[in-house]
Chain A
Amino acid sequence: MIHAASRQRNVIPGFTLTMGFSLLYLTLLFLIPVGGLLLYTSLMSWEEFWRAVSHPQVVASYKLSFTASLIAASINLVFGLLVAWVLVRYQFPFKRIVDALIDLPFALPTAVAGIALVTLYASTGWVGQYLNLFGIRIAYTQLGVVLALTYIGLPFVVRTVQPVLEDFEAELEEASSALGASRLTTLCRVIFPTLLPALLTGFALAFARALGEYGSVVFISGNLPYKTEITPLLIVAKAEQYDYNGAAAIGTVMLLAAFVMLLIINFLQWWSSRRFSH
C-alpha cells in the first residue's frame, strides 16, 4: 500500500535529470553571477554608489537612453501595427519574403546593423546625402540613436500583434458592421481594444530591448559625452578604465530597470491571456 505519495508522481521519466541539470546550469551561469553583481554593488558605500549613478554625465545618458528608447518603441508601435495589419489582412507580391524579413533585426548581429545604418545615414550615405539637402543629419546625432533603436525593436510589435490579428474572428467585425458601425468605428471600438494588450506587450519588449542595446548604437551615435552617449556605452567605458565600482553601480541600475520591464511584460502577458482566454 502506498500512503499519500509525498509528491505527485508522473509516469513520464526524467524529471530529476532534466530539472537537476536545468537548475544547476541556471544557477552557475545565471543566478550566481547576477547575484554576484548585486552583492558587489551592495558592498559599496551609499555615497560612492550615489556619486557613480548621479554624475551629470551619467544622468544625461539615462535621459538619452530612456527618451530615445521611448521614441523608438513608439515608432515601432505605430508602424508595427501597420505592418502586422498589412501582412495579415492584405495580399501583395513577395508577401512571404517580406514577412520573413521582419525577423532580420533579431538575427542580424548588432555590430553589422550598426555599420550598415551609419553607412546609409552618414551625410555621404545612400539616404543621408538626400536628407542632408534638407539639413537633416542623422548619423552622430540623437536622431541616429533613435534610428538604431527603432531598427532593433522592429520585430517585437509586429510579432506580438500578428498572431492576435490572425486569430481575430471575422464574425466580430461582421457583427459590428451588421449593427451599423462604419469601418472606422469598427476599427476603433472592436479591433483596437482586442489588440491593446498585444500592442502594449510588443511596445514593452521593444522598449526593454532598446534600453540595453549597445552594438547597433555605438557606430551611429558618435558617442559624444552629454549629447549622444547611451548608458550601456558608459558601462563599457568605465569597465575599460578598470573603474569597476562605477560600472557596477550603473550596471545595477540597468539590471533593476530590466527586472522592472520584465515584471511589466509578464503582467501584460498575464493580462492579455486572462482577458482573451475563452
Chain B
Amino acid sequence: MSSTSTSVPLLSTPDLSHTWKRATDEPDWVRRSLITIALVFLGLFLVLPLAVVLYSAFEQGLGVWYAAITEPDAAASIRLTLLVVVFVVPINVIFGVAVAWAITKFEFPGKPLLLAIIDMPFAISPVVVGLIFVILFGSQGWLGNWLSAHDMRIIFAVPGIIIVIAFGTLPFVARELIPLMQQQGKQEEEASLTLGASGWKTFWYVTLPNIKWGLIYGVILCNARAMGEFGAVAIVSGRIRGETNTMPLHIEVLYNEYMFTAAFAVSSILTGLALVTIAIKSTVEWFESRHNAE
C-alpha cells in the first residue's frame, strides 16, 4: 500500500492510528490517569521537599544565604565534613575495588556469605552503628579507660565520626562495581595478560577504563552519603559546636534553635550535592544503555 500511496487520493488510505490499538496498550484514559497519579505522588514526595529546601534557603536573598554558610560554626561544620570525606571515600573506594576484584575475577568458597556481609552495613540502623562504637570506645565503654589513660579520644571526637561514617558507607562502591564487573567477565583481562601485560598494567589500562563510570558514580554516591550521614554521627559526635558538628548535625542544631533560614542554607549545599549525585547516576546509566545498544 505504501508504494502506491502517492498516486492514490488520501481519502482512500484510512488512517488507522486512531482506531487500531496495540495488544499491549491500555485505553487512553487509563494511561492518562495513571501518569497523573504517579506524577502527583512524586510531586508531593519528591519535588515539594526539594522546592521547600531551596525556597527557604534563598528566601531572604543570596546575601543572607552566603552569610549563613560562612558563619564560623557553619564553616567549621563544612570543613569537618570535608575532612571526614577525605578519609572515608578513598578507603571505601579501595575496599570497593579490591572486594569487587576478588569476587568477580575468582572462584572461592563462601562467596555468597561475603556478598551478604558487604550488604549488611546497609541494613543496620545508623543509630545502632553509632551505638556499637560508643560501647567500644566511649568513656563508659570497653576501651574507654585505656583510651583516656593514653590521652586518646575517639568518641565525641573526629576519629569516631570517621569510623562510623566509613562503616555506614562501606557497601556503596562495592555494590556499584560488583554487578558491572560480573557482567564484563574476565576475557579482556585474559587478553591483556596473553599480550604480556602485568597484573597492574592490566588493571590500569583494561579494567579501570571499563569500570570508570560505575566507579565514578560509586565514589559520588559514597561521598554524598558520607557527607549526609546523620544517625550514627548523632550518637558519636557529642555535638560540640565548631568542633564535632558535621553539616547534618549543624543543620539539626540550627533547626532546633529556630534558625530556619540558616538551617536551610546549609541544607541547600547538601541538596545540591544530592542533585549532582542523581544527575551523574542518570548520565552513567544513559551512557551504559547506549553502550549496550551498540
CB atoms of A and B under 8 A apart anywhere in the complex? yes
A29 touches B124 (CB 8 A): no
Residue B163 lies at the interface, judged by CB distance under 8 Å to chain A = yes
Interface membership of A4, Cβ < 8 A:
no
Q: Is the CB of B199 within 8 A of A29?
A: no
Number of interface residues of B (CB under 8 A): 100
A85-126 residues at the B interface, CB under 8 angstroms: 85-87, 90, 92, 96, 98-105, 107-113, 115-117, 119-120, 125-126
Hey, which chain B residues are within 8 Å of A82, CB to CB? Answer: 34, 37-38, 41
Interfacial residues of chain B within 101-144, with CB under 8 A of chain A in the complex: 101-102, 105-108, 114, 116-121, 123-128, 130-136, 138, 140-142
Say whether B193 faces chain A, with CB atoms less than 8 Å apart. yes
Cα of A248 to Cα of B138 in the assembled complex, Å: 13
CA distance A126 to B53 in the complex (A): 12
28 sampled A-B residue pairs with Cβ under 8 A: A12-B106, A18-B101, A21-B95, A22-B95, A22-B102, A22-B114, A26-B117, A29-B167, A30-B120, A90-B31, A100-B278, A109-B230, A111-B248, A111-B252, A112-B274, A115-B264, A120-B49, A154-B45, A174-B24, A178-B23, A212-B125, A232-B231, A235-B131, A236-B231, A244-B138, A247-B134, A251-B128, A259-B120
Of the four ranges (under 10, 10 to 19, 20 to 34, 35 or more), the interface on chain A belongs to 35 or more
Q: Tell me if B224 is interfacial: C-beta within 8 Å of chain A.
A: yes
Cβ of A67 within 8 Å of any chain B Cβ, yes or no, is no
Please provide the chain A residues from 149 to 202 with a CB less than 8 Å away from any CB of chain B in the complex.
Answer: 150-151, 154, 170, 173-174, 177-178, 183
Majority SS of interface residues in chain A? helix
Partner-B contacts on A (CB < 8 A): 8, 10-15, 17-19, 21-22, 25-26, 29-31, 33-34, 36-37, 40, 79, 82-83, 85-87, 90, 92, 96, 98-105, 107-113, 115-117, 119-120, 125-127, 150-151, 154, 170, 173-174, 177-178, 183, 208, 211-215, 219, 232-233, 235-236, 239-240, 242, 244, 247-248, 251, 254-255, 258-259, 261-262, 265-266
Chain B interface, DSSP helix/strand/loop, else mixed: helix
Report the Cα distance A102→B45, complex, angstroms: 10
Contact, CB under 8 Å: A107 / B277: yes
